[in-house]
Every structure is written in C-alpha cells, then in structure tokens.
C-alpha cells in the first residue's frame, strides 16, 4: 500500500491552513497517487491568543475542516486520515482525528486520550487540557483489509495504547503530531521506532514543522515526519520543510517479521497481544 504523510507549518489562520492542506492533498494525488494521505495534528489551526482552539472548534459534520476533507476524499478517490482538528461536541472541545474512505464516508473518529500538560526544558508551559477534553475510546479502521489504529502526538509516550491497538489487530498505527523542537530532537525518532518494534506494526507519523506564536510566545515544531517499519527501521523521512513524504507499506514483510520473531505469542505478563 502506498501512503503519503503531509508535513505542514500550521499557524492561527484557519482559512489559510485549510487552503494549504487542500492544495497539498491535490498535488500529492496528482504526483504520487497514494491510497491513503495522512495530515498532522491540529492541521486546521494552532497558536494564537488564549481560547483560540475553543473559538475555532466546530461540530461534526458541519465543521469546515470536516467537510473539506470529506469532499476531497470523495472527489480524488483517496483515503484521508485527517490529522486532528478542534471538534465541538456537546459543549466540550476535543482534539479529534476523523478518517474518510475514498467515497467520502467517515470510517473512524478518534478523540485524543493523553493530553499534553508539561513543562519543556526550554521553559515553555503547555496545558492542552485547558483547551480540550479527554477521549476514552480506542479506535481502528480498515483499508483494503489492512487494520489501521489511531493515536495523536503525546499518545506516543504511552505504549499501553499501542499495545491495545495491536490487540485489536492493528497492522499500521497513525500518529499525527505537532511535537515541540525541545522534545522532538531527543525523543521523536526513538519513541516512534520503539512503538513500531514493540507492536510489529508500521507507524506513520505526519508532523508539523516550523514556528508559530501562542500567547505571545514564539514556539517551534520539530517536523521530521516519518514512517517506521515493523523491524524498527526508518522507511521514509521528510526533509526540514513543508512537504509530503511517500512510502510503500510492505504487508508481506510485516507478516514475515511477526512469524520469525513471534513476540505476540510469547507474552507472559499482563494481557497477551492478539495474534490477529
């Protein structure tokens, strides 16, 4: 299966961000013809003064970002894993992934479970829970008989979520992200490769790159969107710019790795991972 990850520099202009996402998707389909396109976390808006995310949030399916991705999936005949957007649901805002099939039908919706409330080494304070509610559901979907699992950014640090997705049969796990420069330079690649090795899945990680302003502070995102394979190798990596990165997922290779190193059958602590 051919997939493309889009790496974007998202700022606090929602209309401009959506126009950019649409243009990148159209170019990708024209040039690469992938089966699935994955966008980064918060591809609709990031940064701005306090309350920007809540003010930008819209209910599904009325959301402008939702309708745009749905229309593009239908028009272009491609699966779109729509990173994440601010979803308004029953008065609460969620950081939400929505996935559309090649006919524009919604086939998955995942609300981010682990919220980024941390202080990074450069002194920046992040309080995602000030803007978003916490999701509770573990979500998978199917593309051509291949099972995909949903995660978002900070979820990467919680291997139990990835193990739960593996138990649900995930062959590919998608992680839209907006990793900070300070955390990304030390943790991004090693964590992505570790999660791929542990679960024996492909991990697709489309990220944001570049600077944005939040609450008057200049912040920088790490980028380095990548695909990690089930053996833990880096299959594809984006350059330090807004771009797409394309990879082929070799499902036969995935099954070979699982057969030759059957860790899913060797669990003796906790709940064994399903052999699917």
Catalytic residues: 41, 112, 153
Which residue shows structure tokens 């090649």? 102
Q: Is 125 exposed, middle or buried (0-12, 13-18, 19+ CB in 10 A)?
A: exposed
How far is Cα 146 from Cα 167, in angstroms, rounded to an integer?
A: 14
Give the list of residues 6+ apart from residue 145 with CB closer than 8 angstroms, or none: none
Q: Are residues 1 and 35 in contact, defined by beta-carbon separation less than 8 angstroms? A: yes
């Amino acid at each position: 299966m051919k997939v493309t990850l889009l790496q974007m520099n998202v700022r606090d202009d929602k209309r401009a961000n959506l126009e950019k996402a649409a243009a990148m998707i159209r170019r990708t389909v024209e040039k690469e013809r992938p089966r699935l396109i994955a966008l980064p976390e918060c591809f609709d808006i990031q940064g701005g003064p306090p309350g920007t995310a809540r003010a930008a949030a819209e209910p599904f399916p009325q959301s402008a970002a939702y309708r745009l991705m749905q229309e593009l999936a239908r028009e272009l005949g491609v699966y779109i894993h729509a990173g994440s957007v601010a979803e308004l649901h029953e008065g609460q805002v969620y950081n939400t992934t929505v996935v559309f099939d090649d006919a524009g039908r919604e086939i998955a919706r995942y609300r981010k479970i682990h919220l980024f409330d941390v202080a990074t080494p450069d002194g920046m304070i992040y309080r995602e829970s000030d803007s978003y509610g916490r999701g509770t559901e573990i979500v998978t979907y199917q593309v051509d008989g291949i099972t995909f699992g949903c995660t978002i950014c900070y979820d990467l640090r919680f291997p139990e979520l990835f193990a739960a997705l593996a138990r649900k049969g995930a062959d590919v796990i998608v992680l839209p992200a907006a990793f900070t420069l300070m955390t990304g330079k030390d943790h991004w690649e090693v964590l992505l490769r570790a999660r791929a090795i542990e679960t024996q899945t492909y991990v697709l990680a489309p990220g944001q790159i570049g600077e944005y302003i939040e609450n008057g502070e200049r912040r920088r995102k790490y980028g380095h969107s990548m695909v990690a394979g089930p053996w833990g190798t880096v299959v594809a990596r984006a350059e330090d710019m807004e771009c797409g990165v394309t990879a082929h997922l070799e499902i036969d290779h995935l099954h070979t790795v699982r057969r030759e190193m059957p860790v899913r059958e060797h669990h003796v602590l906790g709940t064994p991972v399903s052999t699917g």
